[in-house]
Amino acid sequence: MRILVCVKRVPAPGARINITADGQEVDTAHLAFTTSPHEECAVEAAAQLIEQHGGEATVLTLGPGEAEEQLRYAASVGMHKGVLLPTTDGEWDPQRTAAAITAAIRELEAADGAFDLILFGNESADSGGFQVGIRVAYALGRPMVNGAKGLTVDGGTAHVQREADAGRETYELPMPAVIGIKEGINLPRYPTMKGRLASKKAEVATLAPAADPGGLAKVVLARPAEKKSETIILGHGPEAAPAVVDVLEEIGVL
Amino acid sequence: MTTVLVLVEHDRGALAPATLEGLTAARSIGDRVEAITIGADADALAADLAPYGVATVHQVHDGLLVDYGPEAWGDVLAQAVRVLQPALVVATGTDRGNEVLAQAAARLDLPFSANCTEVRGDPTADTIEMTRVRWGGSLLEEATLTAPTKLVTIAHHAVDASPSDAPGAAAVAELAVSLDASLARSVVKGRVEREAGVTLSTAPVVVGGGRGVGSPDGFAPLQELASELGGVVGCSRAVTNNGWRNHADQVGQTGTRIAPDVYFACGISGAIQHWVGAMASKNIIAINTDKDANMVSRAGYAVIGDLHQIVPAITAEIRKRKGA
Ligand SMILES: Cc1cc2nc3c(=O)[nH]c(=O)nc-3n(C[C@H](O)[C@H](O)[C@H](O)COP(=O)(O)OP(=O)(O)OC[C@H]3O[C@@H](n4cnc5c(N)ncnc54)[C@H](O)[C@@H]3O)c2cc1C
Ligand SMILES: Nc1ncnc2c1ncn2[C@@H]1O[C@H](COP(=O)(O)O)[C@@H](O)[C@H]1O
């Protein structure tokens, strides 16, 4: 079985998100980088499927050269190969991203055969466009379900489970298929020492991305207004319990 | 005349209340609001939509449209856009709303702007402006959308649903579509109904635990406090990542949004991705050893100290007063 997972490099902000002076980007001067939790779970899902069924998993990202860090991390937790689509002009809009990823997939499949499964995150952590995976799936003519909280494969069918308001739904997609994964589907493993060493040597191919900008354009970023309230310190330690319960009575939950 | 077409989200004929938010937003952007219902089960919804100012409900019928399917629904919406040529298409930014609009956008080769809090400008112009949500609400983006038909979702809970001041009767029209049988490949095949009961997103009280709880067993006193108040336990991603609690309990950007009367945040530092899931809480009581923790400065109330001592003391005090 051949699986491709698409991940995006994003900053990992702590208490608040700071913006650069020109309002164009998140200020990453003091930040580490990661991939969205949904995509970490997509990587884990791919690793588990390969363990069960054999085969090979590839991880792909479109982003700055530094995004190789996210590919290597994925390699340390079970992905075999990486593919980097390097960009130098900031974040690409969703249509452009999807077109470039689609072209890269066609090139990879022409060389080594079709991917049985292409996994995405439900949405990217930073821009949250809710569309790149769906666009890629449509361009490739493959079935796509987003928000997967369960995924198993038997024969040529991918069994997907997803949470809806009314309950847990099941889908049966004929493969090759595309699936958007949601956090909670599994618990991503941490890299082992052996994994870390292997990731240093993992093959990372570079493909030049080319696609035209789409119709959604970022103008400027802003932080939502946060109403700052003074914190009332009810006390220190267990002696504060009566003061807490006074508050509960005041609010009316007791 | 600026026509806005609103996607009606429903489940086997049951209207998703979130749709009313999209309808309310649509009224403020265009001067004629039309709606599309997908599948015969949804025909009866026309009566529920009229009070929200819908002028025409386009009903779509096909044997393939008995249950939800992202590709089938997206294809229907794309065909509707080709026929009706609205200036703007609106859905509410739920899982299905975003999914169907993205599917339609892919088919129409049009841009799509997800989770807008505000849409500005004349939808018939080449370009409109909007504010949209990033980082699950921690950040906002001013953006422009340039397209012959603009596809947007309105972020869930960004708009309060309200009926129209001057509603008319909604006209009903049948919209013919032609669906390829292959679209059945991603239609829901089965479903296990959810059990009724208090859930994290609806609970009046949530007792949340973070890394400071220290272990899976450490949650027992939090569970006791929650039960005493008719609430449920929540947690941070540090807790889920450690395997201490199930992801279903996680509050935050990639977890559940909560809006209880009281949220106890015990041993949670208050990272922005946790905060966006908790900020709709009406009252927050932070319990933390660190008086400078972000959760403490963001909360209305705080107790400084070890949660392992404080949480049982609160439960004991509640029991004492209940007994009295
Ligand atoms: C894209 C993205 C999405 C994310 N989504 C989510 C999400 O949905 N939900 C989420 O929660 N996180 C999310 N995170 C992770 C988030 O950034 C934080 O890492 C996480 O919330 C930290 O959890 P925590 O507060 O429990 O742990 P920590 O940050 O380690 O904080 C532990 C706190 O416990 C206090 N403490 C320790 N011992 C005690 C004690 N005995 N008594 C009282 N207090 C004590 C400490 O002072 C500290 O404040 C996301 C991150 C990213 C990058
Ligand atoms: N630059 C990128 N490189 C690789 N994958 C991406 C990129 N942007 C988005 N994706 C994938 O597409 C999913 C949906 O992204 P979005 O449409 O931005 O919400 C993400 O969870 C990723 O799996």
Q: How far is A208 from chain B (nearest CA, A)?
A: 23
Q: Which amino acid is at B85?
A: Q
> What CATH number corresponds to the domain at position B215?
3.40.50.1220
Residue B196 is predicted with a pLDDT of 83
Mean pLDDT of all residues in A54-60:
98
Q: How far is B222 from chain A (nearest CA, A)?
A: 14
Residue A216 touches partner B, C-beta closer than 8 Å: yes
Q: Indicate whether B290 pLDDT > 80.
A: yes
Q: Indicate whether B28 pLDDT > 90.
A: yes
Residue B60 is predicted with a pLDDT of 98
Chain B contact set for A166 (CB, 8 A) = 11-12, 14, 191, 193-194
Residue A128 touches partner B, C-beta closer than 8 Å: yes
Q: Indicate whether B285 pLDDT > 90.
A: yes
Q: What is the pLDDT of residues A21-34, one digit of tens each?
A: 999 999 999 999 99
Mean pLDDT of all residues in B274-288:
97
Q: Are residues B94 and B140 in the same domain?
A: yes
Residues B254, A36: C-beta atoms closer than 8 Å: yes
Residues B305, A236: C-beta atoms closer than 8 Å: yes
Residue B74 is predicted with a pLDDT of 98
The region, left, alpha or beta by phi > 0 then psi within -120 to 50, assigned to residue A239 is alpha
Does residue B180 fall inside a structural domain?
A: yes
Q: Of B285, B314, B290, B317, give the one whose Cα is nearest residue B301.
A: B285
The interface residues of chain B toward chain A in range 215-274, judged by CB-CB distance below 8 A, are: 229, 237, 240-241, 243, 246-248, 250, 253-255, 261-262, 269-273
Q: Are residues B146 and B257 in the same domain?
A: no
Partners of residue B301 on adjacent β-strands: A232, B285
Residue B109 is predicted with a pLDDT of 98
Q: What is the pLDDT of residues A121-139, one digit of tens each?
A: 999 999 999 999 999 999 9
Tell me which chain B residue has its CA closest to the CA of residue A19. B139
Residues B309, A237: C-beta atoms closer than 8 Å: yes
Q: Are residues B151 and B7 in the same domain?
A: yes
Q: Are residues B178 and B46 in the same domain?
A: yes
Residue A191 is predicted with a pLDDT of 97
> What CATH number corresponds to the domain at position B54?
3.40.50.620
Q: Are residues B149 and B11 in the same domain?
A: yes
Q: Of A122, A144, A105, give the one whose Cα is nearest residue A4.
A: A105
The interface residues of chain B toward chain A in range 40-59, judged by CB-CB distance below 8 A, are: none
Q: Are residues B163 and B210 in the same domain?
A: no
Counting from 1 in the atom list of ligand 1, the atom nearest the Cα of A11 is 53
Distance A126 CA to ligand 2 centre (A): 10
Residue B120 touches partner A, C-beta closer than 8 Å: no
Q: Indicate whether B273 pLDDT > 80.
A: yes
Mean pLDDT of all residues in B135-151:
97
Q: Give the mutation target among A88, A131, A132 for probing the ligand 2 site: most ligand atoms within 8 A of CB.
A: A132
Q: Indicate whether B13 pLDDT > 90.
A: yes
Mean pLDDT of all residues in B269-295:
97
Does residue B7 fall inside a structural domain?
A: yes
Model-level ipTM above the cut of 0.90: yes
Range of the domain at B261: 205-322
Does residue B190 fall inside a structural domain?
A: no
Q: Give the mutation target among B253, B256, B258, B308 for probing the ligand 1 site: most ligand atoms within 8 A of CB.
A: B253
Q: Are residues B173 and B293 in the same domain?
A: no
Q: Distance (Å, rounded) from C-alpha B214 to C-alpha A188?
A: 20
Mean pLDDT of all residues in B229-238:
98
Contact by Cβ (8 Å): A157, B183: no
Mean pLDDT of chain A: 97
Confidence of residue A205 (pLDDT cuts 50, 70, 90): very high
Which one of B122, B150, B185 terminates a domain? B185
Q: Which amino acid is at B8?
A: V
Q: Distance (Å, rounded) from C-alpha A133 to C-alpha A145?
A: 9
Q: Are residues B239 and B167 in the same domain?
A: no
Mean pLDDT of all residues in B211-239:
98
Tell me if A36 CB under 6 Å of ligand 1: yes
Chain B contact set for A251 (CB, 8 A) = 261-262, 282-283
Does residue B192 fall inside a structural domain?
A: no
Residue B86 is predicted with a pLDDT of 98
Residue B172 is predicted with a pLDDT of 98
The number of folded domains in chain B is 2
Residue A69 touches partner B, C-beta closer than 8 Å: no
Q: Are residues B237 and B176 in the same domain?
A: no
Does residue B196 fall inside a structural domain?
A: no
Q: What is the pLDDT of residues A77-126, one digit of tens each?
A: 999 999 999 999 999 999 999 999 999 999 999 999 999 999 999 999 99
Tell me if A124 CB under 6 Å of ligand 1: no
Residue of B199, B261, B310, B311 to mutate for A, most A C-beta atoms under 10 A: B310
Mean pLDDT of all residues in A188-213:
96
Residue A130 touches partner B, C-beta closer than 8 Å: yes
Chain A contact set for B229 (CB, 8 A) = 248, 253-254
Burial of A254 (0-12, 13-18, 19+ CB in 10 A): middle
Residue A227 is predicted with a pLDDT of 78
Query: Cα dist. B237→A184, A190, B269, B277 in Å?
Result: 10, 15, 11, 11
Tell me the torsion sign for CA atoms A93, B71, A183, B195. Answer: positive
Spell out the domain ranges in chain A: 2-250
Mean pLDDT of all residues in B293-311:
97
Q: What is the pLDDT of residues B89-136, one digit of tens each?
A: 999 999 999 999 999 999 999 999 999 999 999 999 999 999 999 999
DSSP calls for A64-119: -GGGHHHHHHHHHTT--EEEEEE-SSSPPPHHHHHHHHHHHHHHHHHHH---SEEE
Q: Distance (Å, rounded) from C-alpha B185 to C-alpha A65?
A: 38
Residue A231 touches partner B, C-beta closer than 8 Å: yes
Confidence of residue A156 (pLDDT cuts 50, 70, 90): very high
Residue A94 touches partner B, C-beta closer than 8 Å: yes
Domain A2-250 CATH class label? alpha beta
Confidence of residue B179 (pLDDT cuts 50, 70, 90): very high
Mean pLDDT of chain B: 97
Q: Indicate whether A36 pLDDT > 90.
A: yes
Q: Which residue has the higher pLDDT, A190 or A165?
A: A190
Among protein residues, the one whose CA lies closest to atom 30 of ligand 1: B211
Q: Indicate whether B304 pLDDT > 80.
A: yes
Contact by Cβ (8 Å): A57, A3: yes
Residue B198 is predicted with a pLDDT of 87
Q: Indicate whether A229 pLDDT > 90.
A: no
Confidence of residue B29 (pLDDT cuts 50, 70, 90): very high
Q: How far is A48 from chain B (nearest CA, A)?
A: 17
Tell me if B202 CB under 6 Å of ligand 1: no
Chain A contact set for B139 (CB, 8 A) = 17, 19, 26, 221-224
Q: Which ligand is nearest to the CA of A105?
A: 2
Q: Are residues B260 and B119 in the same domain?
A: no
Among protein residues, the one whose CA lies closest to atom 1 of ligand 2: A62
Which one of B153, B185, B217 terminates a domain? B185
Tell me the torsion sign for CA atoms B147, B152, B158, B159. Answer: positive
